[in-house]
Amino acid sequence: VQAGSTDQALRARARGVIPGGMYGHMSMEPMPPSYPQFMARGEGPRLWDVDGREYVDFMCGWGTIVLGRQHQAVDAAVASQLSNGDCLNGPGAVMVDLAELLVDTIPHADWSMFAKNGTDATTMSVTIARAATGRRRVLMANGAYHGAAPWCTPGPSGVLPEDRAFIAKFEYNDVDSLRAAVAEAGDDLAAIIVSPVRQDNRRDQELAQPEFAREVRDLATASGAVLILDDVRCGFRLDVGGSWEPLGVRPDLTAWSKAIANGHPLAAVTGIDSLAEAASSIYTTGSFWFAPTAMAAAITTITLLRDTDAMAHTHRMAELMREGLAEQARRHGLSIRQSGPAAMPLVLFDGDADLSVVAGWADECVKRGVYLHPWHNWFYTASHQPEDIAWALERTDEAFAATAARQAAS
Ligand code: PMP
């Protein structure tokens, strides 16, 4: 089976008018053949492609959807705002409401600024750190993704060595390598930027070891550098106060986006008081950054995540799936590893260095209507229900059977 005929026809047209036919993380070029490129519709945890094929979705807009698609309360807040217009000549009152909500909800946050994409938020954070310290060097982990700007994009085409001349690397969860990188940067260290979980593509996900997180904090403090937590992917999924709150490690700045407004376009930077002056000194802006609809969506999303059991429910659904997959793999004699937080997991197979086995399994899943990813972490939402998990597990069971049969034949 391949992607459907409508999808194939759109891809052919796209190749004529869109460079490469598609670009960025949503290009299905590197994916197994059954993955559709073009989508038609989503509702709750379900998704339909342009050929009308239905999926239970475990990618959830690559983490932008946290409560579920077409969420009534969120979309009502958006519709209500939209009835008054969106691009006005200044932000709406909701900008202040949202900033107050973030300051009330996130323990380290004394202020917040808004933008659209995760890259905006991480780049602003780095700029604020450099403005505050008057220093140049920024440390980030090997393999970490912080966005698609020249200083951090994993794709080097068109990027100058000068764009990242002051970016140096350390190994995630490796205190010695972090210490060495901090020592090397010396008194020119402006910031350490780190994600709350190691979620590099194509390898097991790693939770931050508490002693590593504490060392990041302590080294930043001792060297007078800014600790930036890149909570773009994990934010509002693991802990509403920030993903290192359970570890008791508070950053100076946090970059947020993705789930913050349940699929509506918004990013934020939150920070501590002592960085407010530097934050107000940088010139940063964007045509769409102040639009109130996405801010109204964020207020509803964050309030629901804070005041309901949405996150706990999501976690239960993810655990249900995790247990089901583990049982199925065992029964089919396949050895899998499920890493990362349950609600943002990655499933890989043992002895599959080139990831061909997981790619084949993911292809079998997608063919049957279970949309997941072979080498990027998945996402769950509060809209996933036990019946969705059961529906998905019936199909993953068949996919494991097909994978086991292929292995037996080879
Ligand atoms: N940081 C992290 C941890 C991310 O996962 C992403 C997006 N995958 C980004 C930054 C960049 O966000 P955006 O694609 O919205 O610019």
Average pLDDT over residues 280-308: 98
Ligand 1 site, residue 64, Cβ cutoff 6 A: no
Residue 245 scores a pLDDT above 90: yes
Contact, 120 vs 267, CB < 8 A?
A: yes
Query: What single letter denotes the amino acid at residue 277?
Result: E
Question: How, if at all, do strands 370-371 and 54-57 pair?
Answer: parallel
Name the residue at shortest CA distance from atom 1 of ligand 1: 146
Ligand 1 contact via 130 beta carbon (within 6 Å)? no
Q: Which atom of ligand 1 is nearest to the CA of 267?
A: 15
- What letter would DSSP give residue 208? P
Q: Is the C-beta atom of 232 inside 6 A of ligand 1? A: yes
Kindly report, as residue ranges, where domains of CATH 3.40.640.10 are found in the chain: 87-290
Give the residue-averaged pLDDT of 254-278.
98
Q: Once rounded to an integer, what is the mean pLDDT over residues 39-59? A: 98
Phi, psi of 229 (to 5 degrees): -95, 120
Whole-number Å distance, alpha carbon 394 to ligand 1 midpoint, is: 32
Tell me, in angstroms, the distance from the centre of ligand 1 to residue 132's CA: 24
Establish whether residue 118 lines the binding site of ligand 1, counting it when its CB lies within 6 angstroms of any ligand atom.
yes
ipTM reported for the complex surpasses 0.95: yes
Angstrom distance (rounded) from CA 108 to CA 111: 9
Report CA(322)–ligand 1 centroid distance (Å): 25
Whether pLDDT at 1 is above 60: no
Q: Using alpha carbons, select from 257, 228, 259 the residue that is nearest to residue 65.
A: 259
Which residue, among 315, 322, 327, 300, has the nearest Cα to 380 in the 3D structure?
315
What CA–CA distances, in Å, run from 119 to 101, 116, 147, 151, 232?
Answer: 22, 8, 5, 10, 9
Mean pLDDT of the chain: 98
The pLDDT score that the predictor gives to residue 360 is 98
With a 6 Å cutoff on the Cβ, whether 57 touches ligand 1 is no
**Interval 84-88 mean pLDDT:** 95
- pLDDT score, position 112: 98
CATH class of the 5-69+309-409 domain in this structure: alpha beta
Q: How confident is the model at residue 264 (pLDDT cuts 50, 70, 90)?
A: very high
Q: Specify whether the backbone of 333 is left (phi greater than 0), alpha (psi in -120 to 50) or beta.
A: left
pLDDT-based confidence at residue 3 (cuts at 50, 70, 90): confident
Q: Report how far ligand 1's centroid is from the alpha carbon of 77 (Å).
A: 25
Q: What is the pLDDT of residue 410?
A: 87
- The closest residue, in CA terms, to atom 13 on ligand 1 is 118
CB proximity list for 139: less than 8 A, separation 6 or greater: 167, 168, 169, 170, 178, 181, 182, 185, 189, 191, 192, 193
Which atom of ligand 1 is nearest to 199's Cα? 3
Q: Which atom of ligand 1 is nearest to the CA of 234?
A: 3
Whether 314 lines ligand 1, by a CB cut-off of 6 Å, is no
Average pLDDT of 90-104? Answer: 98
| CA 366/CA 63 separation, integer angstroms | 18
CB 122 near ligand 1, within 6 Å: yes
Non-local CB neighbours of 336 within 8 Å, separated by 6+ positions: 325, 326, 329, 347, 348, 349, 350
Question: Residue with the nearest Cα to atom 10 of ligand 1?
Answer: 146
Residue 254 CB less than 6 A away from ligand 1: no
C-alpha 119 to ligand 1 mean position (Å): 6
Ligand 1, atom nearest to 119 Cα:
16
| pLDDT 10s digits, 175-216 | 999 999 999 999 999 999 999 999 999 999 999 999 999 999
Given the structure tokens 């709406």, which residue do they identify? 92
Atom of ligand 1 nearest to the CA of 116: 15
Q: Three-class SS string for 242-264?
A: CCCHHHCCCCCEEEECHHHHCCC
DSSP letter at 187 equals: G
Q: Is domain 87-290 annotated with CATH 3.40.640.10? A: yes
From the list 85, 180, 191, 214, the residue with the least C-alpha distance to 132 is 191
With the most atoms of ligand 1 within 8 angstroms of its CB, the residue from 200, 228, 233 to mutate is: 233
Q: Report which secondary-structure segment, H or E, holds 198.
A: strand 197-198
**pLDDT, tens digit, for every residue of 376-397?**
999 999 999 999 999 999 999 9
Percent of the chain with pLDDT over 70: 100
Please report which helix (H) or strand (E) contains residue 71, including its range: none
Q: Are 395 and 368 in contact (CB under 8 A)?
A: yes
**What's the rounded mean pLDDT across residues 31-60?**
98
- How far, in Å, are 130, 315, 387 from residue 242 at the CA level? 23, 16, 30
Q: Give the global pTM.
A: 0.98
Q: Is 61 in the pocket of ligand 1 (CB under 6 A)?
A: no
Residues of the chain with CATH 3.90.1150.10: 5-69+309-409
Q: For 276-281, what is the mean pLDDT?
A: 98
Among 23, 122, 123, 266, say which to mutate for ligand 1: greatest number of ligand atoms within 8 Å of CB: 122
What pLDDT score was predicted for residue 154? 96
Is the Cβ atom of 119 under 6 angstroms away from ligand 1?
Answer: yes
The tokens describing 389, both together, are: 């998990």
